[in-house]
Amino acid sequence: MELQDSIMKDRQRRFRQEYRHRIAGWYHGWLHLMVIAISGLTAIYIYTSNLVDTQWWEWLAVPAGFFAYQVAEYILHAHVMHRPRKHPMLRALYIRHTLMHHQFFTTEEMRFADHYDWRVTFFPPFTMIVLTILSFVPSLVAGLIISPNFGWLLMSALTGSYMFYEFIHFCCHVDDNALLRNLPIVNTARRHHRAHHDHALMMEVNMGIGTPIIDWALGTSDLNRGLLGHLFNGESTRHLKTNLRKTERTPKAPPRASSTSATAH
């Protein structure tokens, strides 16, 4: 099944066809979504059921955990998913992302055709296990040094932030509608991520998906405006930087004054 009302180029259409052909027949997008949602919510339920007499300052673990995950996701995205690495697992992330996700979705066509296409966007189901293992040590340390409640809330926030990331990324690849166009944060993320899918920009720009804050802070955003402007930019393209990289199939040399070459064959 493919989108009929699409302006995608033949190359992208062929890639999507080939990708779908290679997907295992048993894949089911709704099942994948349920695994992420149920495992995430169950984990958060277990973590928060350990809270006892929570103090107001212990809730600071929530924004800290949320932001820490988003920073980690930015680093992973910018330095692993868009850069080939030697380690097989890291290289697999690069292949899955740069060579698959970014070929499947381009700035011309960002949409899923159906739930079978969700596989190219959601992290694999075992991600929740990996995240739990990775979250355990910092949360345990925080729990021992600061307070047990802080540790449990940090663990909950890291898990919640991952689920938020998956939700936002999913929203970036669904069909346009009035709700998504007008929902703050979501509409900002959709434009931000669509620009990231521009092949000219994808290796360097708009690496944050859940939030544009890190792109704003590190100067890797395609927007030239402040923090609040970044957060609530929505679909606006009024503040685009004018010095963004422009790629070409064949970059042309500037016209030469005289045609001399000392190195040519």
Partner 1 sequence: MKIYTGDRTIDGVKVLVDGHPLPNCSEIQCFSTMGFEWGYEGAEPRQLAFALLVDYSGSAETARQHCEPFMRIVVANFDNEWAMTSLDIEDHLDAINTSA
Whole-angstrom Cα distance, residue 108 to residue 12? 9
Decide whether 25 or 254 has the Cβ nearer to partner 1: 254
Whole-angstrom Cα distance, residue 61 to residue 154? 5
Note the residues at the interface with partner 1 (CB under 8 A).
11, 15, 18-19, 22, 82-86, 91, 95, 98-100, 102-103, 199-200, 202-204, 245-254, 256-257, 259-265
Decide whether 23 or 46 has the Cβ nearer to partner 1: 23
**Closest distance between partner 1 and the C-beta of residue 175, in Å?**
24
What is the rounded end-to-end Cα distance, in angstroms, of the chain? 50
Decide whether 172 or 207 has the Cβ nearer to partner 1: 207
Going by C-alpha positions, the residue among 199, 192, 206, 201 that lies closest to residue 12 is 199
Tokens of 120: 């190219």
**Closest distance between partner 1 and the C-beta of residue 234, in Å?**
27
**Closest distance between partner 1 and the C-beta of residue 178, in Å?**
32
Whole-angstrom Cα distance, residue 197 to residue 24? 26
Decide whether 35 or 100 has the Cβ nearer to partner 1: 100
**Closest distance between partner 1 and the C-beta of residue 253, in Å?**
4
* Cα three-residue angle 48-43-91, rounded to 5 degrees: 135
